[in-house]
Chains A and B, each alone.
Chain A
C-alpha cells in the first residue's frame, strides 16, 4: 500500500514542474510551486510511515505518555514538513505581494511581458 503515496507524490512533483515550465501566468506559477511543495511534503510524510510486520504504526502523541506499544511513526519528517509549510507560506505571501506590484507596473500577469531588463 505504500507505493500509492510515493506514486502520488512523484506525480504531484511532476505536474508542478510541468506547470511551472509551461504556464505563463504568475499566479499559476505560484500555485504550481505550491503543488511541488505538497508533493515533497507527501513524500517526506510517507517516508516516516513504515509498515512493520503488517502492523500499522501510530503517532506517539495518540498513545499518551505511557510506553508506546505499537511501532511509532517517524517524528522527524513531521517536524521537517511543519518547518517546510511555514517556509512555504512565507514564500507564497511574498510572491503574491510581488505579483500585485508587478501587475501595477506592467498591467499584465504574463511572464513574457516581464522582459524589460535585457538578458
Chain B
C-alpha cells in the first residue's frame, strides 16, 4: 500500500472532522487532534524509510490511471514528487507538530476559542506537508497560502492583547505582499512556458531561458526571502514569533520559515532553475543575504531583554547559517565542497527545528508559570525550575554547537565547507557563532544567578508540558551521539539527490 497520499489525507480528515468531534466535548477534541498528528507522524516516518531505503524519487500523480512511477506524459495534472530532502522535511514537520499539539494541551488550557486553535494548528501542519511534497509550482503556492493564512491567524490568536494583534497585522501585510510577488513570479513563468509542473518547467527552461524567466526568478526569490525572514526584511519575524502562543512560536520558528522559505528556495534554485540559470551568480546572491542575516540576527539577539524576542532573533541568525550552506551549495555546484555545504544546510535545518522548538517550549513553560518573559525578572530560575533549566541548557548548548550535541555536527559541516570555499565566509560564520554564544550565555547566567522573590514562588510545569520537552531533549542527545552516521547516511544522500537535477526531472518526465 502506497503511503504517500495519506500524508495529506490524514491531516485533511482531521481538519474537516474536528468541528464535528468538538461537539462531543473538549477532551475528545484534544484527543482527536493528538491522534491525527500522531498518525501523520507515523505515516511520514514510513515515507522517510521508503524513500531512504530505495534512494529514488517517488512520484504520485493525482487522479491518473496509474499514479505511481514515471512518465506523466502530458504534464497537466498535479504531481506530488518526493525526494529524500522532502521526506526528511516532512518527517521533521510531523515530529515537531505532534509535540507542539501535545504541549499545547496543557499550555493552552486557560484560553478560549480552542476549537479554532486545534483546527488552525492542523491546517498549519497540512500546509507545510503540502509544500514539501508537491511537484507543481502552483500547487505549492496554494499550500503556501494555506500555511500562511493559518499562521497569520495563529499569531493573532490572543486577540485580547495588543501585542498579538499588532504582530499579526504586521506579519499579515508583509506576508500578503510577499505572496503576491510569488504569485506574480509564477504567472510570468506560466506566461512564458505554458506549464506549471516543476520538472517540465525545468526542461523547457533549459532549452530556452529568457529575460521573463529571470524576472520571475527575481520575484520568486524576493518573495521567499521575505517569507524566510532574511535580513533586510526580517522585522516582521521578530514581532510575530514572540507574540504568538509558545507552542505556535515553536512551530513558526522551527518549521514555517524553513518549509515556506528555505526549502522552497532550495527546490526552486536547484530543481526548477538549476539547468538554466548561472548557479554561481545565484549562489553568491544568496550568500550575500545569508552573511547579512547571520551577523545581524545573532548580534541583535545579544541586546534583547525579552526572552522570546531573543529566541526569535536567534532564529534569524540560524536561518543565516542555513542560507549560507545553501548558497555555497549553489555557488560550488558539482564539487565536493558544494555537496558538503548543502548537506550541512539540510542537517542544520532539521537540528534547528528540534532545538528551537525545545527553546520556545522552555520559554513557554516559564511564561506559563511566572507570567513574564523579561530576562531581568527571571534570575535564579534554576533553583525552582531545575528540570526546565536543564532542558534549556541542553537546547542552548546544542544551538551554540558544543561537541556532544547535534548542533555541533551540522555547524561543523557548514564551517568546514565555507572555509574551504572561501575563508572569509568561514570567518563570518565563526563571528556569528560568537554573538550567538554571548546571547545564550547571558540567558544562562540569568537563570543560574541569585533567585529573585518572584521566581521563588514558581514551580515546575505539569507533566503534559515536560514530556514533549524531554522528548526533544532526548532527540537532541540521541542525534548528538551519532552525528557522522546521520550525516553520511541521510544528509549527504539527500544533498546529492537534491543536486541531481536531471534525476528529479527524469522521475517525472520518464526519460523523454
Contacts and interface: CB of A to CB of B under 8 A. Distances in A.
Interface of B: 76, 138, 142, 145, 149, 152-153, 156, 159, 162-163, 165-170, 172-173, 176-177, 180, 183-184, 187, 190-191, 194, 196, 235, 238-239, 243
Contact of A98 (B138, B156, B235, B238): B156
Contact of B183 (A29, A84, A90, A98): A84
15 contacts: A36-B177, A36-B180, A43-B187, A44-B190, A80-B190, A90-B145, A90-B149, A91-B176, A95-B172, A98-B169, A98-B172, A105-B165, A114-B169, A117-B166, A119-B238
Interface in A68-100: 74, 76-77, 80, 83-84, 87, 90-91, 94-95, 98-99
Contact of A94 (B149, B167, B194): B149
Contacts of B191: 43-44, 47
A94 B162 CA distance: 16
Given A17-B177, A80-B187, 9 more contacts: A44-B190, A84-B183, A87-B149, A90-B149, A95-B173, A98-B159, A98-B172, A101-B156, A105-B162
A40 interface: yes
Contacts of A13: 184
Interface of A: 13, 17, 20, 26, 29, 33, 36-37, 40, 43-44, 47, 74, 76-77, 80, 83-84, 87, 90-91, 94-95, 98-99, 101-102, 105-106, 114, 116-117, 119
Contact of B187 (A20, A47, A74, A117): A47
Contacts of A99: 169
B252 to A, nearest CB: 16
A17 B196 CA distance: 26
B176 A119 contact: no
**A interface, over-half SS:** helix
A109 to B, nearest CB: 11
A74 B195 CA distance: 11
A90 B162 CA distance: 23
A31 to B, nearest CB: 12
A99 B173 CA distance: 11
Given A40-B184, A94-B153, A101-B159, A29 B173 contact: yes
B142 A87 contact: yes
Contacts of B166: 102, 105, 114, 116-117
7 closest Cβ pairs, A-B complex: A47-B191, A105-B162, A87-B145, A117-B239, A101-B165, A44-B187, A101-B159
Given A29-B173, A80-B138, A119-B239, A94 B183 contact: no
Contacts of A33: 173, 176-177, 180
A83 B76 CA distance: 16
Given A117-B239, A119-B239, A91 B169 contact: no
A13 B180 CA distance: 10
A16 to B, nearest CB: 8
A117 B196 CA distance: 41
Nearest to A106: B162
A40 B149 CA distance: 19
A40 B238 contact: no
**Secondary structure of the B contact surface, majority rule:** helix
Contact of B169 (A26, A76, A84, A119): A26
Nearest to A29: B173
B229 to A, nearest CB: 12
A33 B152 CA distance: 16
A102 B152 CA distance: 14
B216 to A, nearest CB: 12
Contacts of B142: 83, 87
Contacts of A80: 138, 187, 190, 196
Contacts of A29: 173
B180 to A, nearest CB: 5
Contacts of B173: 20, 29, 33, 95
A36 B179 CA distance: 11
Nearest to B145: A87
Given A40-B183, A98-B168, A47 B149 contact: no
A111 to B, nearest CB: 8
Contacts of A117: 163, 166-167, 239, 243
Contacts of B159: 98, 101
Contacts of B190: 44, 47, 76-77, 80
A91 B187 CA distance: 19
Contacts of A102: 165-166, 169
A81 B80 CA distance: 21
A116 B149 contact: no
A90 to B, nearest CB: 6
A20 B152 CA distance: 19
A116 B176 contact: no
Choose among A20, A47, A84, A117 the residue with the greatest number of B CB atoms under 10 Å from its CB.
A117
Nearest to A80: B138
A29 B153 CA distance: 18
A98 B164 CA distance: 10
Nearest to A115: B166
A117 B163 CA distance: 7
B110 to A, nearest CB: 20
A29 B172 CA distance: 11
Given A94-B149, A98-B168, A106-B162, A76 B183 contact: no
Contacts of A95: 169, 172-173, 176
A47 B156 CA distance: 37
A15 to B, nearest CB: 13
A95 B168 CA distance: 9
A101 B243 CA distance: 15
